[in-house]
Amino acid sequence: MARQATVARRAEELLDVAVVSTQPVAGGDICTTTRLRLSDGTLAVMKTKPHAPPTFFRTEAHGLRWLAEVDGGAPVPEVLAVEDDCLLLRWIEPGRPGGDAATAFGARLARTHAAGAAAYAGPDGSEADGWIGTLPLPQRSAPTWAEFYAVRRVLPYLKLARDRHAIEPEHAQVIEDIVRVLPDRAGPSEPPARLHGDLWSGNVVWAGDGQVWMLDPAAYAGHRETDLAMLALFGLPQLEQVLTGYQAEAPLAEGWEERVGLHQLFPLLVHACMFGGGYGARAAAGVEHLR
């Protein structure tokens, strides 16, 4: 198998283990991902991005380690090394979706959420900006989830979408209306949950070991319904089984189904900012019933 010299050399510098072979990994439009076979038998993956901001990979590594702290929580890859220019993780071998794995994943995700945090903010209470895709992610704390969601998750991306002409004025108005009534639409008060933060189906790996793993977090402390709403956004296989396992471990508050569109506002606005298209209209349609 071919060996990419530059990637292999950088991995060897950081891991102090010889790289036997490298292989490009398909998928993803932000980073270049390369699978590595090391001389000690370890399979690893290296993520690189030209001209990445200094905090880009370190923030992801911090989030992964924060999520990994939870005993019995949803598994995430082990961080092997991180520097400004790259992130090295233990490789997760893909498998096939299954009902039992989905139910177990739901229960483990509930445990991750329940591990919680002291405040609505970044991992370990960090208030330094993180990243969601290629966009900065505000993490400064707020006293309530409604305030945090409005001023750190919805309004910054609504403004950016407007600036980029990625949302129509009438759709932006719907979202502004929702922000004004958000405290009344947020549902029962809950403590901060430990979130993956970007838990769409592409960041979920059904692994050959029978477990379901979470990749590429934009971790923070927020509302647990946000992770679940993101799982539903682009169609996760076995989602009903995931929810069954979750509800058995930690039942959701009454009316959570009515709030799915509210929790999808954030990722849809991020997509509008990054990709344009109809994401702004979809964001508004999902909360129209809450006006």
Residues 49, 55, 57, 59, Cα dihedral to 10°: -150
Which residue of the set 40, 129, 163, 198 is catalytic? 198
The reply to whether 198 belongs to the active site is: yes
CA angle 209, 215, 219 (to 5 degrees): 135
The beta strand positions in 39-144, using DSSP E, are 43-48, 79-83, 86-90, 130-132, 135-137
The beta strand positions in the chain, using DSSP E, are 19-24, 32-38, 43-48, 79-83, 86-90, 130-132, 135-137, 193-195, 204-206, 212-214, 220-222
Read off the tokens for 117: 């945090």
- Other C-beta atoms lying within 10 Å of the C-beta of residue 93: 10
Annotated active-site positions, please?
Answer: 198
